Structure 1
Amino acid sequence: MKKAITSLAVFTLIATGGYFTFEHLNTTKANNATRVISLSATHPIFNDLESIEDIADSIIEVEFTGERDTISWGEGEYQNSLSEVKINKVYKGELKEGDLIGVYEPAYFEDDTLHTVEGYNLMSENIRYIIFAKEFKDSNYSIIGMYQGKYDLDNREKVTTQKTNSNYLLELESEYLGDEENIKRFNKLKEQVVEKYNQEE
């Protein structure tokens, strides 16, 4: 993967595909051994697919290769993941099928804890995703609007509200780990994405 840049100013853009402001921290104990820490942030809100498509440099179908690094910014105050993906299809932009690129994701694992911004869940292997992304000067890409810019094409089920006493592994299998209001938005956007981009025969 491309070498990550270390500018905190650029991190604020990478984390959201736009801008990023911390608001509060919410910690959910998923079971006795693990937990999910979810950070809220000010970020762009999209009410329809066209709005996301308009600002994306690239719209691509990808699969996560299994290669992922945790990236620290500034003096280590902020972290996220840099994940390698292989491109299956290109719907917008100059990238090519078969390319391997690095994608910044606003979540990371530390020991037994998943740290996430706005409920974003990391990509998993052997799943096709559509991502709406912007390129940065380090040649890596960021997902636009966090959870609004990545969708699992292999799972048509609607996301449901996560319960604090739910099993951790089941919770992590959910495509999105956000709150009820954002889940409604996510499901609406995903319905539009799947209708347009899920071209699997």
Structure 2
Amino acid sequence: MRKTLAVVVALALALGGFMIYDSTKTKQASKLEFVAGQANYPQYTTLADLEKDAEVILEVKFTGERENIEVKQSGFVIGTLSKSAVDVLKIHKGTLSNKEKTTVYEEAYIKGDRYHHSEGYKLMNERGR
């Protein structure tokens, strides 16, 4: 009986700890101020049109490694991107020199307490959302 009670208490504590951790992460993310920019990209109406123009199409998983990269032109910063490391799960089109890992440049970044993004772009995360 004591072992069962100990297991139930341990599970309850673990679940409670996870819930507190998760709510803390959510509160931290909700403290970010969102800063939106505009983008000028082609808008594809069908997947076939996108596939026709794409050189490489990959299925990837974000590794959690990310850094901000300043884009410069003539010595001046003209933008900032996130440089995100990903594991390649599947190559649907094209070829890669390293078939296991690659880098994706994303149209959003976090600096301080601000989340900067283009047209609502959402950064990849480890959960796949």
TM-score (norm 1): 0.45
Q: How far does the alpha carbon of each residue in 1:116-174 deviate from its partner, in whole angstroms, 9 at most, with x for none?
A: 001111000142xxxxxxxxxxxxxxxxxxxxxxxxxxxxxxxxxxxxxxxxxxxxxxx
In the alignment, which residue of structure 2 is the partner of 1:71? 69
Structure 2 unaligned segments of length 5 or more: list them.
Answer: 1-28
- Residue 42 in 1 paired to residue 40 in 2? yes
In the alignment, which residue of structure 1 is the partner of 2:59? 61
Paired letter, 2:46: D
Rg larger in 1 or in 2? Answer: 2
- How far 1:96 sits from its partner (Å)? 7.5
In the alignment, which residue of structure 2 is the partner of 1:169? none
- Whole-angstrom distance in 1 between the partners of 2:40 and 2:97: 32
Residue correspondences, number: 98
- Whole-angstrom distance in 2 between the partners of 1:82 and 1:58: 18
Paired letter, 1:93: G
- Whole-angstrom distance in 2 between the partners of 1:88 and 1:118: 27
In the alignment, which residue of structure 2 is the partner of 1:188? none
SS for the counterpart of 1:42 is: coil
- How far 1:56 sits from its partner (Å)? 0.9
- Whole-angstrom distance in 2 between the partners of 1:119 and 1:69: 19
SS for the counterpart of 2:49 is: helix
Higher helix share: 2
- How far 1:40 sits from its partner (Å)? 1.3
TM-score (norm 2): 0.68
Q: Percent identity?
A: 36
Aligned-residue CA RMSD (Å): 2.0
- How far 1:84 sits from its partner (Å)? 0.6
Alpha carbons 1:67, 1:84 under 8 Å: kept: yes
Structure 1 unaligned segments of length 5 or more: list them.
Answer: 1-29, 128-174, 176-201
Alpha carbons 1:60, 1:88 under 8 Å: kept: yes
Higher strand share: 2
